[in-house]
Amino acid sequence: MNSPKHILLIIGGGIAAYKSSELIRLIKKSGMTVRCVLTESGAQFVTPMTLAALSENEVHTTLWSLKDETEMGHIQLSREADLVVVCPATANLLAKMAGGIADDLATTLLLATDTQVLAVPAMNLRMWNHPATQRNIEQLRRDGIIVMQPDEGDMACGEFGPGRLPEPPAVLAEIMNHVIGENIVGPNPLEGQPAFAPDQHRPLHGKHVLVTAGPTREPIDPVRYIANRSSGRQGFAIAAAAADAGAQVTLVAGPVHLPTPTGVMRVDVETALEMEAAVHDALPADVAIMVAAVADWRADTRADQKIKKQKGDAPAPLKLTENPDILAGLAKHSQRPGLLIGFAAETQKIDEHARAKLTKKGCDWIIANDVSGDVMGGAENSVHIVTADGTEIWARLPKPEVARRLVAKIVEEI
């Protein structure tokens, strides 16, 4: 059995620091050891006592501790780790790291270490979007530091957007991605969540898989929209299965009520135009699986005010414009993914229509689903895999099982 891996966790000062407690618990549960360094501002949000109790290790807070220095020098503290994780990495901490500033224990360790560093940013969305932060992140990535993408969503400050700390299971998945190779000792700490065995063979490690899922919603006026019955379940299951297989996954999701699978970077969009932009932003990708049921049309103009029904009047005319075909566009893109997969919802002549779509859209595989029954929004799917080499017909299966088999087929292909 391999010896347990050691994580040095540096906790910066932001409201997301409270999530470090859960992260420590998950790291420990996975059989790794963790030692914490708390910055002065981090200590405004979590106490050394909590971290020491959870990590079962002394917590380090200052450069000037004679006791720490005689027992374990600060350079050794970072060098004995298999991975240094900065979580939450505040805008300030990232800026200091990018600039090589070493003015406290955390930043001194980061400058002195030769161990791989993983930074998990969390900050207000304007701080995240600020050119200075983006410049620092680019610099850090060039310097070989892994910088996770923050989540999008509601923030503690009441705003909405990118900058949220990814959920602790996603951070753990990322940690595993980088210390894996040798077995992690211990049980799967993510039990009950989408299957992820830390000691499992992770064949998509190092690959970026892009998935679209769910419907798009095309506004007519501030209260009405055009949409469809897609639940997003098949796409979310595929994103989860790809993450389980070790891929870095970007999931561009239309409006659905589904939790983000563990270890998956989710980008929420509403319209087809937003989905297209998010897909292009996510490139390059090794594999793209376009599962979303993109609305074919959008309202030609979006009324600023609610369109009023007037007594005796004919219904308001609805003029439609065609949406871009995101899949076909990606097939012609200069950064076309090496394996491009489309879905096709069909109610009749499934193979014939799917094969025609394969050519028309310029993708490599079409997964045709027979939606004549209750597939759309349901728990199971019945698919035909149409490729240049022929057609495979799969029995009706639960959507997570379709996802698992599809990912296995992708692994075989690439």
Binding site for ligand C5P (CB under 6 A): 212, 272, 290, 292, 294, 323, 325-327, 342-344
Q: Is 157 an active-site residue? A: yes
* Amino acid sitting at position 69: E
| b/e burial code for range 332-366 (CB count within 10 A of at least 16 → b) | eeeebbebbbbbbbbeeebeebbbebbeebbbbbb
Q: Which is nearer to ligand C5P, 81 or 272 (CB)?
A: 272
Q: Which is nearer to ligand C5P, 26 or 285 (CB)?
A: 285
Q: Are strands 248-253 and 208-213 parallel, antiparallel or unpaired?
A: parallel
Residues 6+ apart with CB under 8 A from 58: 35, 52, 68
Q: By the 8 A CB rule, do 402 and 237 touch? A: yes
- CA dist., res. 23 & res. 4, Å (int): 17
- Taking the complex as a whole, the smallest distance from the CB of residue 328 to ligand C5P amounts, in Å, to 7
- Taking the complex as a whole, the smallest distance from the CB of residue 292 to ligand C5P amounts, in Å, to 4
Q: Which is nearer to ligand C5P, 77 or 287 (CB)?
A: 287
What stretch of H or E contains 237?
helix 233-244
Q: Which is nearer to ligand C5P, 60 or 357 (CB)?
A: 357
Q: Are strands 146-147 and 117-121 parallel, antiparallel or unpaired?
A: parallel
Q: By the 8 A CB rule, do 168 and 22 touch? A: yes
Q: Which is nearer to ligand C5P, 210 or 265 (CB)?
A: 210
| SS3 of residue 159 by DSSP | coil
Q: Which is nearer to ligand C5P, 96 or 384 (CB)?
A: 384
- Taking the complex as a whole, the smallest distance from the CB of residue 275 to ligand C5P amounts, in Å, to 8
- Taking the complex as a whole, the smallest distance from the CB of residue 104 to ligand C5P amounts, in Å, to 49
- CA dist., res. 116 & res. 202, Å (int): 20
DSSP string, 304-369: SSPPPP-TTPPPPP--EEEPP-HHHHHHHSTT--SEEEEEEEESSSHHHHHHHHHHHHT-SEEEEE
Q: Copy the structure tokens of residue 2.
A: 């391999």
* 206 DSSP assignment: T
Q: Which is nearer to ligand C5P, 12 or 232 (CB)?
A: 232
- Taking the complex as a whole, the smallest distance from the CB of residue 189 to ligand C5P amounts, in Å, to 34
What stretch of H or E contains 124?
none
Q: By the 8 A CB rule, do 95 and 131 touch? A: no
Q: Which of 36, 87, 157, 363 is catalytic?
A: 157
- Taking the complex as a whole, the smallest distance from the CB of residue 327 to ligand C5P amounts, in Å, to 3
Q: Which is nearer to ligand C5P, 151 or 325 (CB)?
A: 325
Q: By the 8 A CB rule, do 293 and 272 touch? A: no
- CA dist., res. 237 & res. 327, Å (int): 19
- The maximal CA–CA distance of the chain, rounded, in angstroms, is 88
- Taking the complex as a whole, the smallest distance from the CB of residue 194 to ligand C5P amounts, in Å, to 22
- CA dist., res. 84 & res. 110, Å (int): 8
Q: Copy the structure tokens of residue 16.
A: 């997301």
- Taking the complex as a whole, the smallest distance from the CB of residue 294 to ligand C5P amounts, in Å, to 4
Q: List active site positions.
A: 157
